Amino acid sequence: MKRFLLFLPLLVAVVIGVVLFAGIGKDPTKLESALIGKPVPEFGLQELRNPDTMLDQSLFRGRVTLLNVWGTWCPACRDEHDDLMWLAEEKGVPIIGLNYKDNREDALVWLDRLGDPYREIIYDPRGTLGFDLGVYGAPETFIIDAGGVVRYRHVGVINETVWEQALQPVINELQGKG
């Protein structure tokens, strides 16, 4: 018993060490979305390219989609744009855009210049839908299933690695089910 007590501090140190070590390398700025498993919030917003078209949450029904939050003010969105084009053109992934806290003219110029990977683009200049989705920094990308339920969120730039390791497995699983 006495001997065991001598080793107690070592034991405590090892346990604390293991717990702290497990935290190293985790990115604390990536938060899991509070909306996972919940339907896309209700909204009624214009389409970016056709102001006469009103979009709402029924947009996400019927197929698995990517919802990509972007804005021309966001440098990282520029970085991922080529990869979004690649996803839309090579992989045939349906991407819905959410133009977040931006203005229409700038956004249209951007799409003209860089290409347009989006099936539809929700125009959200005041960031209301973004706020309801818990967007705290563009770019963010959500995976929405065929029933309009949020299944996954990726915060940050999308590239080939992110697609292969994070997004594609989730999408494959969802499409396998439906």
* Residues that bind another protein in the complex, under the rule CB under 8 A: 28-29, 31-35, 101, 127, 131-137
Query: Over the Cα atoms of the chain, what is R_g?
Result: 21
Q: CB of residue 61 vs another protein: minimum separation in angstroms?
A: 22
Distance CA 40, CA 67 (A): 10
What is each CA distance from 1 to 5, 8, 12, 13, 144, in whole angstroms? 6, 11, 17, 19, 58
By the 8 A CB rule, do 154 and 138 touch?
no
Q: Given the complex with another protein, which of 86 and 131 has the nearer CB atom?
A: 131
Single-letter amino acid, residue 178: G
132: buried, middle or exposed (CB in 10 Å: 19+, 13-18, 0-12)?
A: middle
Q: Given the complex with another protein, which of 30 and 91 has the nearer CB atom?
A: 30
Q: CB of residue 101 vs another protein: minimum separation in angstroms?
A: 7
Q: CB of residue 74 vs another protein: minimum separation in angstroms?
A: 11
> What residue ranges in 32-149 does DSSP mark as E strands?
44-46, 54-56, 65-70, 95-100, 120-124, 140-144
Q: Given the complex with another protein, which of 8 and 161 has the nearer CB atom?
A: 8
Distance CA 16, CA 6 (A): 17
Q: Given the complex with another protein, which of 83 and 132 has the nearer CB atom?
A: 132
Q: CB of residue 175 vs another protein: minimum separation in angstroms?
A: 27
Q: Given the complex with another protein, which of 81 and 101 has the nearer CB atom?
A: 101
Q: CB of residue 111 vs another protein: minimum separation in angstroms?
A: 23
